[in-house]
A = this chain, B = another copy of it.
Amino acid sequence: MTRSAILDAGSDFLRTRPFRDLTVGLLMAGTEYSRPTFYLYFNDLHGLMETLLGEVKGEIVDGARAWLSNEGNAISGLQQSLAALVEVAHEHGTILKAVADAAPSDARLERVWDTFLASFDEVVSARIAQDQAAGLTPEFDPLPVARALNRMDAGVLIQAFGSVEKAEKDKVLSAIMRIWLSTLYPFDATASLERIGD
């Protein structure tokens, strides 16, 4: 109860102001509780961010399923997954930026964030290897490419949707879509990219 009131106050704060402006005092001023109460439910502000990230993580994993659990066409699955990813990032962009901002100032949170990103490297890499075996994707070392594509997504999405003035979803989507498709499915990419237009 109290705990989720604090989490809500945190989300609300970060919707309009950056993580660097967040203090325990300000945070708790957004609730009906006093400053020390915060420490009953979280170790520090970074602990709060860790919890907020956990909430968003679920949605992202769900959205990515279309491509990762490979049923149906690879290309359209990827298109679906990226679209879902953009959707979630647009929704929770401020939280994602806040976590990314907070991470470097705390060893533990930095680990959590890195692990979060690395978890996608694993699964994307696996899916690439599979498509390579199927002859859909050229041969190359999948892991570094997966890492690069994921870092791209993270950087782009946080930059585009991390603050109040958000970029246009469709421009962002078609840019990263193009890069994923031409890297992973170059043989079919031309057709697919023409289909979505530019």
Contact = CB atoms under 8 A, between A and B. Distances in A.
Interface of A: 18-20, 100-102, 104-107, 138-141, 144-145, 147-149, 151-152, 154-156, 159, 171-172, 174-176, 178-179, 182-183, 186, 189-190, 193, 198
Contacts of A152: 148-149, 151-152, 155, 179
Contacts of A104: 18-20, 100-102, 104
Contacts of A182: 182-183, 186
A151 B161 CA distance: 14
A140 B152 CA distance: 18
Nearest to A147: B156
A106 B171 CA distance: 29
Contacts of A198: 139-141
B183 A190 contact: no
A44 to B, nearest CB: 13
Contact of A175 (B18, B138, B147): B147
A49 B102 CA distance: 18
A183 B193 contact: no
Given A152-B152, A159-B147, A179-B148, A140 B174 contact: yes
Given A105-B105, A182-B186, A183-B183, A144 B159 contact: no
